[in-house]
Structures are given as C-alpha cells and as structure tokens.
Structure 1
Amino acid sequence: MKNSTCLLQPSLATTVALPVIYSFLFPAGSIGNILAAWIFSRQALTKRTQYIYLVNLVSANLLICSTMPFLTVYFARGYQWTYNSVPCGIVNYLGTLIMHVNMYVTIMILSSIALSQYATLKKNSDAQYSQAGNENCQRFLLKKFRQPKFAKYLCIIIWLTVLCVTVIAITRNARARTMEESPRCYNIRVEAGELGAMVLATGCFFLSFMMVLLSYYSLTRHLSEIQRNTCIEEKHLIYRTVKRNIFVIQMILTVCFLPYHIFRPIFYVMLTNNDCPRLNYLVEIKNFLTCLAAAKSSLDPVITLLLDKTFKKSLCGLFTRSTSEQHKRNPDIFIEESPDT
C-alpha cells in the first residue's frame, strides 16, 4: 500500500476548498481560544476540577489551531513538493503530526470532563438518596475524577504521553524519510500514516466515546430512579444541566470525531487496491473528515460560552466592565464542589 506507484491527483476540493476552510478556522479558533485562555487566567477558580480540564482543553485547541496554516499550505501546494523537501518535512511534523496528537488530547479531556460532571452529581445525589448494591469500585473511580489533584495529575500524564508519542513518531518518520523515495509530498504514505498508530488512536477514541456514552446512560437511569422515588423539584435544574452538558460532549464526539474514526480503518483496508481514481477519492474523503475533527477546536469557545455561566459573565464583563465581585456571585453552570480530601 505505502509503496504504491499511484500518484495522487488532488481535485479542487483539496487544493481550494480545504485551504479556504482552514484559513477561516485558524483565526476564528485562535482568537476564541486565546480569549478563553485569558478569561480562565483571570478567574480565581482555576483550582476547581472543571477549570483544570478546561484550561488544558484550551491549550490543546490552541496547538491544533497553530497547525492550520501549515495544513493550508500543504493542501494548496503539497502536490508540487518533493517528498524529501524541507517544506514537506515541516508540514508533516508541525502540521499533520501535532494536529493529530493534540486531537486525542482534546478527546481524552472531553471524556474526563463528562466523567467529572457525572461523578459530582452522583456524589451529591448519593448523599441524599441511599441506593443498594456494591458500587465501591465505581464510587472510588468517580471520586478521583472529582478531585482537582487527580485532574492535574491526569492532565500531566496525558501531555507526557502525547510528548512521548510525538517524539517516537518524529523519529520513525525521520528514519522512513531517509529510506523512502517518492516524487511528491502529497502521497499515499503521508496520507495513510502508520497502521500501529491508527489502531492505537482508534482504540483510544472508542474507549473515550464509550465512557461518555455510559456516563450519559447511567445519569439518565439514575435520574429516572430518583424521580420515581423522591420529589426533586428543587434540584431538577441541576440534574438537567449536567445531563445536557454530558449530552453536548457526546454530540461533539459523535459529530466531529466518530465519522473520521469509522472511516479511518475502512480507508486503511481499501488502500490495498492500487486503483488510482478510487485512492484519490478515499484520500479526499479522509482529509475532509479530518478537517471536521479539527473544526471542533475552533468551535470549543462557543460551546464553553453556552455551557459555562462564569465564562459567559466574564466575557460580557469585557464589554460592560462588570466587577470581579459580580463575577464571583454568578453561579457556574458546570456543577462543582469543594475538593475531596
């Protein structure tokens, strides 16, 4: 497959549409995430679990947005470069590689946010409503996701893992580039990537996807049980809010990432055929699905604006000159609690 003699011939969809899309996503995502980072840096609540996750999510989003200019140039001119040229190497390392590894940082952090939301609400409801059954292991794990200290360590582990994967990938790519002879930068090898990396990344996504899905299902069932047995009118808004937050995260994973991760294994299998026209179509479909996944990083500030009242009030304060005391009095739509000791 990677030694295919087929020369990819990108269509206008690749050489024009993708560069235009990335050109719009870059300023929108950069400005939005920089603004989000600035607002989070002004908050006194950064030691809270949700804000630890959100700050790391914004950092990963900014790294993804920083790769978009490289991807813009690659899709517009990559088919004219030779494989061993300096521009091709720069784009592969600073564009495609960094974008993909940080994409999985955002996936893991999003799933951690969903579990933290579910864990906090589950803990609050368990304190009021007794439930039968042996859930000690589940409660222990959920308790960890509520703790700011655990959130910090988890994010550190995620970033260290990403750093190791990046170094290994750069080393392997550099070795392969010295051995590979290809007339173009835009080729099957670059577009297909490594089989092992694809399997690992796909497994990571579906594990995160199922964790969020199970959290939403468990919360829905838990809420139904409480509603049948107890009047919870006073707390109903909180339950509904957390349920909506987890649902939004599930929709992000489903709309932005699921199509890419369903198509990627199919794409890898179908590349075994040396049918050039079909290979061109497969590569272009894969690249547009990748663009959809990358677009999520530009949309995250809008999603945070809709989900987080503190973020919304802080943003409004930039234009209305609200005082910090007013910000502190505004409740956060992300349900939180005091750190567990």
Structure 2
Amino acid sequence: MRNSTCLQPSLATTVVLPVIYSFLFPAGSFGNILTAWVFLRQALTKRTQYIYLANLVAANLFICSTMPFLAAYFARGYQWAYDSVACRIANHLGTLIMHISMYVTIIILCSTALSQYATLKKNSDAQCSHAAKENFYRCVLQKFRQPKFAKYLCIFIWFTVFCITVTAITYNIQEKAEKEFPSCYNMKVEAGEFVTMIAASFATASFFVSFTTVLLSYYSLTRHLDKIKKNTCIEEKHLIYSTVKRNILVIQMILTICFLPYHIFRPVFYVLIKNDECPRLNYLVEIKNFLTCLAAAKSSLDPVIILLLDKTFKKSLYGLFTKSTPEQHKRKDDIFNEETPEM
C-alpha cells in the first residue's frame, strides 16, 4: 500500500477532475458571494433560519477556495515532490479546509432540518393541543428555533470539527514516512495514516447520525401531518406545512445525492486498500476522489437551491436590483420579521 510508484493517475484524474473543479470554482464563488451579499444587505441573519444559512454559505465559500488547489494537485500532483511547498499547501491546507467545511455543512443541514420540524411542531401544537408531544421533547426541538441557541450551536460545530480535523492532519504531517516519496500523488496523501483513518471513521459515523436524524424527521413529519389532517386541525391555507415538508425533503436529497455515496464508499476504501494490487489501488483512489468532488459540488449548487426554494431570498435579490418604494420597504420589513420557515 505504501509503494509510492504504485499510484499512476489516469486521464480521468489529470484532466477530468481539474476541469470539473475549474468549472465549479467560479460558479460556486460567484453564487455564494452573491448570496452572502444579499444576507448582509438585507440583514437576514436576524432570523434563526438565516443564521444556519449564513454558516452554510461561509462553509461553501471555504470549500470553493480549495478548488483551485485541488485542480492543480490532480493536474500536476504526480510531478510535484512530496516535500514541496505546492504539495503541502494543496494537501495539508486544502484538505484541512475541505473537510472542516464539509462536515460543518452536513451537521448544519441536520440542524436546519430540526429547526424546520420544530417550527411545524410549534404551529401545530398551538392549533391541536391534543397532538402535543412530551414537554421535554418539544422544548429540545424549540431550541433549534432560537437565534441565540443557533449562533452558539454553529460556533460549537465549527470549533469541534476544526479541532478533530486539525488533530488528524497535524499527526499525518508529523508522521515519519518509511521511505521517501518521489511524488506528491501517493498513498500516504490519498489514504492518510492510522489517526487519519480513525478521524475519518468518526466523521463517517457523524454523517450517518445526521442523515438518520433528517430521515426520521421527515418520516415523523409525514406521520404527524397525516394525523392532524384526519383530526381536521389543519386547513388548506396553511401552506407552511407543505413548505416545511418540502424543505426537509430537499435537505434529505442533498445529503443522499452529494454525501451518501462518499460515506458509503469510504469504509470500503479503507478496507480494500490493504491489498497491494496496484491496479485496484488506482481504481479505488480515483473513485474516492470523484465522490469527494461530488460532495464538493454541493457548495456550488446551494445558491441555486436557495434561490428556487426561498421566497424571501428571491424577493431580496430582486429588490437589490430594483428601486423600492416606501411601501415596498415596509412589506420587506414585515417579511423579515415573520416566523414562517421559508428555507
């Protein structure tokens, strides 16, 4: 596994991956910068939902910032010396930022889904007191709707993920290699050492906890809506219910399409790389890198998803490029102060 001459990148790695990252970088950077600009101009972060969204945008921008380094690494990494500055920047710094931002995104998406679900429970409990759950369960859910709690939760998520990732990568940097690696593109970089694998296992477990939480939220939400509809405690005019259900479904789809393949394959990758067959190692590494690219692509798609799903954001973006009357300003303020969970 540690044979540095074993890995020989194919055209899929040296051409296709750099092209994909080169395309994702400007698209994702422009979309997320524009989204951040709208948030700052319209002060949307005063709402709990937009505290989560603002942190997602920040994580997206961090991921986008690593894309030029990743494109350069896959295009020329096999020609770089292992101890070169370019190799250290592209892998150590780029990997650090990429993984921190990726898992911050996953956990905040889970928190956003719980926030959406808590909003529905709050409104339905107010209308159907007989459908209320236990007080403790309801109070925990409502925490995700409180701006102060959301801010501290996001800070805690960033800090925890940062500490775990830095510890694993720092250990990997300081780990003594058994022999010199002639190129940057090698198994030590692609697979990491023992501590890196432990951190990866913990991260994979965290993903599946988040994934299962969102899935159970959607299932519970569907059952809850069916129940209150039977009790005629919900009217057709209450579009908030369908909006919440749609938003949680979108989060579930993002986790499933962008992140699930990578996290299913990662344990398989660490088991199979123990075999020293070079052709197999090359295939495994390339599959891993393409699945990582799929996960990174999510950062470029987020602005489009927010634009399509969030009516408030769409109105705010349109308002920045048009002249507003005093009446429109008043309506805008009313929109920002409302509690409907337009994701």
- 2:232 paired residue number: 230
1:294 is matched by which residue type in structure 2? Answer: A
Amino acid at match of 2:261: P
2:137 is the counterpart of 1:135: no
Task: Give the match for residue 306 of structure 1.
Answer: 308
Change (3 A) 1:226 1:235: farther
- Mapped partners of 1:326, 1:320: distance in 2: 15
Give the letter for the 1:328 counterpart: D
- Distance in 2, matches of 1:137 and 1:93, equals 43
Counterpart for residue 210 of structure 2? 208
Go from structure 1 to structure 2 and tell me whether the alpha carbon gap of 1:333 and 1:276 turns closer, same or farther (over 3 Å shift): farther
Further displaced range: 155-164 or 132-141:
132-141
Partner of 2:340: 335
Is structure 2 residue 330 aligned with structure 1 residue 325? yes
CA distance in 1, matches of 2:338, 2:91: 40
Indicate whether 1:82 and 2:81 are aligned: yes
Q: Tell me the distance in 1 between the aligned counterparts of 2:76 and 2:4.
A: 20
In the alignment, what sits opposite 1:35? 34
Post-superposition CA distance 1:246-292 (Å, at most 9, x none) = 00000000000000000111011010111111111111111111000
Which one-letter code corresponds to 2:158 in the other structure?
W
SS in 1 for 2:129: coil
CA-to-partner distance for each residue in 1:296-335, whole Å, 9 max, x for gaps?
A: 0010001111121111011112332335434335579983
Q: 1:8 to 1:311 in 2, by over 3 A?
A: same
Alpha-carbon separation, structure 1, partners of 2:164 and 2:37: 29
1:125 paired to 2:124: yes
> Which whole-Å CA distance do the structure 2 matches of 1:57 and 1:63 have between them?
10
Q: Could you tell me how far 1:5 is from its partner in structure 2?
A: 5.3
CA contact (8 A) 1:22 1:68 kept: yes
- For the residue of structure 2 that corresponds to 1:322, the secondary structure is coil
Q: How many residues align?
A: 336
Give deviations 1:215-251, integer Å, cap 9, x for gaps: 1011100000011111522444211111000000000
Counterpart in the other structure of 1:72: 71
User: What SS does structure 1 have at the residue aligned with 2:46?
Assistant: coil
Give 2:263's aligned amino acid.
H
Q: Following TM superposition, by how much is the alpha carbon of 1:127 offset from its aligned partner in structure 2, in angstroms? A: 1.3
Matched, 1:26 2:25: yes
Q: TM-score, normalised by structure 2?
A: 0.92
**Which sits farther off after the overlay, 57-66 or 178-187?**
178-187
- The amino acid of 1:70's aligned partner reads F
Query: Is contact 2:99-2:165 (8 Å) kept?
Result: no
Hey, what does 2:266 align to over in structure 1? Answer: 264
Residues 113-138 of structure 1: CA distance to partner in whole angstroms, max 9, x if unpaired?
11000001111101110236862332
- Displacement, 1:160? 1.2
Unaligned runs of 5+ in 1: none
The corresponding residue for 1:220 is: 222
Give the Cα separation in 1 of the matches to 2:59 and 2:178: 32
- When the two chains are superposed, the root-mean-square deviation of aligned CA atoms in Å is 2.0
3-state secondary structure, aligned to 1:127: helix
Any idea what SS the aligned residue of 1:24 has? helix
Contact 1:70 1:95 in 2 (8 A): yes
Contact 1:52 1:152 in 2 (8 A): yes
The CA deviation string for residues 168-222 of structure 1, in whole angstroms up to 9 with x for no partner, is 2342122126766212211112111321011011011001101110110111000
Deviation at 1:336, TM superposition (A): 4.3
What's the secondary structure of 1:295's corresponding residue? helix
- Share of identical aligned residues, percent? 73
Q: What is the CA–CA distance in structure 1 between the aligned matches of 2:43 and 2:128, rounded to whole Å?
A: 32
The amino acid that maps onto 1:273 is N
Aligned counterparts of 2:231 and 2:9: Cα–Cα separation in 1: 61
- Matching of residue 252 in structure 1 with residue 254 in structure 2: yes
| Distance in 2 (alpha carbons) for counterparts of 1:296 and 1:44 | 25
**Which whole-Å CA distance do the structure 2 matches of 1:311 and 1:212 have between them?**
23
Any idea what the Cα deviations from partners look like across 1:27-63, whole Å, max 9, x if unmatched?
A: 0111111111111112234221101111111111100
Q: Distance in 1 between matches of 2:142 and 2:330?
A: 31
* Separation (CA, whole Å) in 1 of partners of 2:161 and 2:191: 20
Contact 1:241 1:333 in 2 (8 A): no
The residue type paired with residue 325 of structure 1 is K
Structure 2 CA distance for aligned equivalents of residues 48 and 329 of structure 1: 12
The 8 Å contact of residues 79 and 184 in structure 1, kept in 2 or not, is answered as: yes
CA distance in structure 2 between the aligned counterparts of 1:88 and 1:191, rounded to whole angstroms = 12
Letter in 2 for 1:257: F
Q: 1:231 to 1:331 in 2, by over 3 A?
A: farther
Give yes or no for contact 1:308–1:333 (8 Å, CA) kept in 2: no
1:140-151 pair list within 5 angstroms? 140-151=139-150
1:52/1:151 contact within 8 Å kept: yes
Q: Deviations over 1:43-100 (max 9, x none)?
A: 2342211011111111111000000000000000001112111111111122122111
Question: How many angstroms does 1:146 deviate by?
Answer: 1.1
Structure 1 CA distance, aligned partners of 2:155 and 2:286? 35
Q: Is the 8 A contact 1:48 1:336 kept in 2?
A: no
